[in-house]
Structure 1
Amino acid sequence: MTIQADVAPGLLEQVDQPRVGDAFGELVTRCWAAGARPGSVFEVLERADGAVFATDTSHWFSGPAQWNGAETWACEQARGRILDIGCGPGRHALALTEAGHHVLGLDSSPGAVAVAEERGLSVVLGELGEAEALGAFDTLLLLGNNLGFLGSRESSPAVLAQLAALARPGSQLLASTRDMRNSQVPETLAYRARNRALGRLPGEYRVRIRSRATATPWFEYLYASVDEVRELVRDSPWALCDSHQEGTAVAVRLELRG
């Protein structure tokens, strides 16, 4: 059977790419409006090889009882003045604030910042490179797999230096990531093998977040094992002091040298 469609010339070419925008902010805004109800909104992470991964957006609103053990362990180490980098709608910032900590959130998503503010949190809209005006902190958080902001072996020294510029003497950096070495997904195994062949770390991903017809710009994101984190920080202002792993979930504690 042949199906014919009456489509105006050029129409398909006009709609074959998503609009670039605050896709993450759209997702958390819709989920918040739905009461952060599980199953109400799904986030799609698209990798550069075409693989897509869907997750329930409500996890960005989960409380400590729903966190993995690595992130629970990381939050238990938090102290002093805290900067939650890439805070999203504030799941970690909210729990730490309610526990009596002084927490400031930082995120580049206008939608996520608006939701975090609605939840009563103190949040700044901006990028990591713009954060020095916020002063110095005792604890920096990169949770929700946000160690991924290191991006790659090549970009990590600059990011680690930016983080050190926000830290007081004796400060710590608490970060979480995923150790994907034991993945059994054929596409992920192939992607990691291609990275190795190109001289990259296996967990260097190029991804974007999708929300309906909106997508973030493509960005580099790193998934690393504890040994790879140790390699990345070796010549940085930071020293790896402790780690906690449960399954693929990894959290690390770095201390500012000197």
Structure 2
Amino acid sequence: MNDPIDTEALDWVRDGYVIDVGCGTGRHLEMLARRGVRGHGVEVSPAAVSLARAAGVSCVRADVFSYHPPHPVDAVIAIGGNGGMAGTLEALPGFLLRLSSWLNERGRLVLTCSDWTRLPPEKLNGHGSPSRGYPGDVRMRFRLDDEVGAWFPWLLVDAETLGQVCSSVGLRIVERKEWLGGAVHGALIERAPSP
């Protein structure tokens, strides 16, 4: 199985201790561990947590909005499009502030997102999704064979808007990467210097 295209964003994490939000089965933490970077995952799926733990990955079943790390960390990663966990553009400032509150003084966020402006219109919004507001406020659900999960909110944020929201909450994007012609983009984010 090939690695997702945005795993290249892990190159921004060279050392220290990492929290991976939405870690799934721990693939990104395993990749970082092979490079000597230690970390811990946060994941809502009990099945994914079980698989991660069986593979020796440190993780906890928790929601990113209620989890409290035991100590500040060097990096928080939300890769695999997991910047979408914010759910809506309105919630994005609080999401970024929450993740950045887990960082130590020099810590950084590594975020990848899908850009609604670079996706075909038919890929936006699930059935019954609201058509007003920010076009990247969509709903998703997971499907596996005949099983289909419930709809949940997901954010597809364009790079310019992400930069504006970061600035509005005292953060700044210091590096960017793109994949698939910009349909997927990554940002290395840190606290903006005090004026």
What count of residue pairs does the alignment treat as equivalent? 188
Find the aligned partners of 1:249 and 1:161 in 2 and give their Cα distance.
22
1:238 deviates by 2.1
Which residue identity does 2:152 align to in structure 1?
F
> Which of 109, 114, 123 matches 1:188?
123
For normalisation by structure 1, the TM-score amounts to 0.66
Structure 1 pair 231–124 and aligned structure 2 pair: CA distance change class (3 A): same
Q: Secondary structure at the match of 2:141?
A: strand
Which residue identity does 2:113 align to in structure 1?
T
Find the aligned partners of 2:16 and 2:26 in 1 and give their Cα distance.
18
1:214 deviates by 4.2
Find the aligned partners of 2:29 and 2:107 in 1 and give their Cα distance.
18
Find the aligned partners of 1:206 and 1:190 in 2 and give their Cα distance.
6
Q: Secondary structure at the match of 2:47?
A: helix
Query: Which structure 2 residues correspond to residues 67-106 of structure 1 after superposition, within 5 A?
Result: 67-68=4-5, 70-72=6-8, 74-78=9-13, 79-106=15-42
1:249 deviates by 2.2
Q: Does 1:142 align with 2:78?
A: yes
- The answer for the alignment partner of 1:210 in structure 2 is 143
Structure 1 pair 77–190 and aligned structure 2 pair: CA distance change class (3 A): closer
Find the aligned partners of 1:199 and 1:106 in 2 and give their Cα distance.
30
Q: CA contact under 8 A between 1:176 and 1:252: conserved in structure 2?
A: yes
- The answer for the alignment partner of 2:115 in structure 1 is 179
Deviations 1:18-56 (A, max 9, x none): xxxxxxxxxxxxxxxxxxxxxxxxxxxxxxxxxxxxxxx
Gaps of 5+ in 2: none
Find the aligned partners of 1:71 and 1:225 in 2 and give their Cα distance.
19
Deviations 1:150-193 (A, max 9, x none): 22121112212211221111210001112232334x523788xx
Q: Does 1:230 align with 2:166?
A: no
Gaps of 5+ in 1: 1-58
Q: CA contact under 8 A between 2:17 and 2:37: conserved in structure 1?
A: yes
Query: Which structure 2 residues correspond to residues 1-258 of structure 1 after superposition, within 5 A?
Result: 62=2, 66-68=3-5, 70-72=6-8, 74-78=9-13, 79-184=15-120, 186-188=121-123, 198-200=132-134, 202-212=135-145, 214-246=147-179, 247=181, 248-258=183-193
Find the aligned partners of 1:86 and 1:139 in 2 and give their Cα distance.
14
For normalisation by structure 2, the TM-score amounts to 0.86
Which residue identity does 2:156 align to in structure 1?
Y
What percentage of residue pairs aligned between the two structures are identical?
Answer: 24
Bigger Cα Rg: 1
